[in-house]
Amino acid sequence: MFFHGELVLVILALTLDGQVHTGKIIGGHEAVPHSRPYMVLLERHIQDGKIKYCGGFLLNEDFVMTAAHCQARSYKVLLGVHDLSDKNGVQTIPVEQTFPRKDYNETNYKNDIMLLKLSSKAKFSDKVRPIALAGPGDGLQPKSCLVSGWGRTDENITYMSFKLMEVNVTLINNPHCALDNMYCSEGRIGPNHGDSGGPLVCEDGKAYGVVSNIFKPASGGPQINSYAKIPDYRSWVDLTMTYV
C-alpha cells in the first residue's frame, strides 16, 4: 500500500518483497481460518523479475477485484489461503486479462480499482467462495466495516504475515474522500503495506470498498485510510464482467 501526504507528500514502497513473517494487521487479530473464503492473495510479477504481493477478492468463478495501483507485468491469484505455510487446498490460477480503470490517477489514487479475469475458473469449496458487491441501492454510507489481509504488522518491518489477519474500522465523513469516490477511516488501526486491493466488508456482508491508500491531511490530524467506493463503479464492473 502507498503512504502519502495530501496530494503525495511522501511515497513509500507499494508492496513487499517475497518474504513472510508471523504477525497481524495493525491493531487487529488473526481471522478464523477460512472464514473469509473470498480473500485472494495476489502474486505480482514485476518487470525486474521480483515477486510482490497485494490482496484481492473473488467476485465469481472468473473474476477477482483488486486495486489499480497493484498493476504488474503478470499475476497469479492464490485462493483458499489462510496460513501461507499451508498449501493444502490452495488454488493457484494465472490471470488472463487485466481491467484497471482507465481513469485511475496514480497521483491521488482516484478510481483505484481493477478487475482481473482468471485463465481458468475458480472451483468453489468451503475455502473458496465469492463475495457480493454493494451497489447504489444499498443505502447510506455504512459505518462499521472490516478489512483483512496478509500485510505488514508494523510500519517499521518489511515482512508480511503468515496468517490472514483482520481488523474492524469505522468509516468517517471526509470531503476529500467524497470528492474522490472513496470511503475513509482514520487512525493507525487498519490496513498496512501488502493489504492493498483487499475488500472493505461492512455490516451486511457485502464488499463496499477496495483498500487503496493512506494519506495525512495537510491541515494535520490523524492519518486517513481510504478505500475505492465500489457502489460508484458497479455499472463499470457489471458491464466489464458481462461483455469480456
CB 124 within 8 A of CB 61: yes
Question: Is residue 101 domain-shared with residue 175, that is, in the same domain?
Answer: no
* Domain CATH code at residue 173: 2.40.10.10
**120 catalytic per annotation:** no
DSSP string, 87-132: -TT-EEEEEEEEEE-TT--TTT-TT--EEEEESS-----SS----P
Q: How far is CA 18 from the centre of its chain?
A: 18
**Band of the pLDDT at 153, cuts 50, 70, 90?**
low
Question: Is residue 44 domain-shared with residue 80, that is, in the same domain?
Answer: yes
Q: What CA–CA distance (Å, rounded) separates 84 from 114?
A: 24
Reported as a single tens digit per residue, the pLDDT across 191-235 is: 877 899 999 999 999 999 999 998 888 888 889 999 999 999 999
**pLDDT given for residue 65 in this prediction:** 98
Q: What does pTM read for this prediction?
A: 0.88
Q: Which of 161, 185, 196, 212 is catalytic?
A: 196
Does a structural domain hold residue 171? yes
Question: Is residue 125 domain-shared with residue 178, that is, in the same domain?
Answer: no
Question: Is residue 92 domain-shared with residue 170, that is, in the same domain?
Answer: no
Does a structural domain hold residue 78? yes
As for how many domains the chain has, the answer is: 2
Reported as a single tens digit per residue, the pLDDT across 167-188 is: 999 999 988 898 999 999 998 8
Q: Which of 62, 82, 112, 195 is catalytic?
A: 112
Does a structural domain hold residue 18? no
Question: Is residue 125 domain-shared with residue 155, that is, in the same domain?
Answer: no
Q: Which of 69, 195, 212, 226 is catalytic?
A: 69
Does a structural domain hold residue 222? yes
Residue-number span of the structural domain to which 185 is assigned: 136-232
Q: How far is CA 15 from the centre of its chain?
A: 12
**196 catalytic per annotation:** yes
On the question of pLDDT at 12 being above 90, the answer is: no
**pLDDT given for residue 155 in this prediction:** 61
Question: Is residue 146 domain-shared with residue 110, that is, in the same domain?
Answer: no
Question: Is residue 82 domain-shared with residue 100, that is, in the same domain?
Answer: yes
Question: Is residue 197 domain-shared with residue 120, that is, in the same domain?
Answer: no
